[in-house]
Structure 1
Amino acid sequence: MVALPLHVRRFRKRKYDQAHLLAGQLAKATGRTAPGGWLERSRETRRQVGLSEAERAGNVAGAFVASRAVKGQEVLLLDDVFTTGSTARAAAVALRDAGAVRVEVLTLARAFTLA
């Protein structure tokens, strides 16, 4: 189980990472592991709020780097909120590029707008 990470600057400002906290508790409750360091946000990105789907995808493209430790692993990527999927997709690409054989995404909430 791998949490979708905040950038280190945002983590220092916030003092917590909700996805990391969720992953730790879920791993504990299910008997899984949630190793740290398997996925990092390698560059700071703008907040996604108010961006279009295309802008969101561009904002997070290439923003994640995965450890070689994921090679051959099946990974459950955990995030707090799923909106367009851009962030989860960019993170999953980094995990697959590092050799993860399977990446599934689990989120606590799904954001959407009523038209």
Structure 2
Amino acid sequence: MRRVNGFGPAIAGWYREPNLPGFYYKQFVVTALFMPVMLGFIYLVSDAEGGGWRFHARLPFGHFVKRFGWVAYLLFVLTALLESALMLVALLLALAFAYGVVWLLKGVF
């Protein structure tokens, strides 16, 4: 999955599975400017060797809500939003830094 200029599919959010240590839930999202605009299936994942995730199960939204409740789902979506917002802030800071370096170099030369 690749996002181009902040648009496209991604895996976001984080909710720990209380009964299985080392496992947690991530949600498939479609983003615009790195912010989720459409939520998809929820996946049970674990960390894979060498980075990334190992996918173990797919859960529809309703099953997640039945198992953990609405409050847990809202917290889960909040983690996806925060994760995306932090990525957007990091991108804006990197662009501001690059602009500042170019501005300083133009003044020096």
Would the TM-score normalized by the shorter structure come out above 0.5? no
Q: Which has the higher strand share?
A: 2
Q: Which has the higher contact order (CA 8 A, sep 6+)?
A: 1
User: Which one has a bigger Cα radius of gyration?
Assistant: 2
